[in-house]
Amino acid sequence: MLKDSILDAIGENVKIIGDSGYQGIKNYHENSEHPIKKPKNRELTEEEKLYNRELAQKRIYIEHVNRRIKIFRICKEVYRNKGNRQEKRVKLVAAIYNLMAPL
C-alpha cells in the first residue's frame, strides 16, 4: 500500500522509520529502517536487540501521536461523509492535536 500511495512523493533524503510490517521497504526506499525480526531457531544477538531498542525509542513519539489522532476516530474508521473532504478533516484533527500537545 505504501508503494502505491505516497512513496513517489517522499524524497530520497527523507528517512522512513517503520515497524515490522515494513520489511520490504528497503527495496523501494534506501533511506529506511525497521526492526530486525527474530529468525527461526535462533535468538537475536545483543547488537540486534540494542538496534531494535534504539529504533523503538525513536518510534514511540510517533506512536503516541497516532494514538491521540485515533481518539478522534476519523483516521480509525471508514469515512462515510458526503464528498471527498476527508483530507480537510484529517488536517483539522491534526491542527486540534497540535493545539492540545504540550510544548
Q: Which domain holds residue 100?
A: 45-103
User: What mean pLDDT value characterizes the chain?
Assistant: 76
Does residue 24 form part of some domain?
Answer: yes
pLDDT of residue 4: 64
Phi and psi, residue 84, nearest 5°: -110, 65
Residue 75: HSE in the Cβ half-sphere, 13 Å Cα cutoff: 16
DSSP state of 77: S
Q: Do 64 and 96 have their domain in common?
A: yes
The fraction of the chain above a pLDDT of 70, given in percent, is 73
Q: Do 60 and 83 have their domain in common?
A: yes
Side chain identity at 7, as an amino acid letter?
L
The whole model's pTM is what? 0.60
Q: How many domains does the chain divide into?
A: 2
56-96 residue pLDDT tens: 888 888 788 778 777 777 666 676 766 677 677 777 777 87
Rounded to a whole number of angstroms, the distance between the first and last alpha carbons of the chain is 33
Q: Do 49 and 90 have their domain in common?
A: yes
Query: Are 33 and 18 contacting, i.e. CB atoms less than 8 angstroms apart?
Result: yes
pLDDT of residue 74: 64
Does residue 19 form part of some domain?
Answer: yes
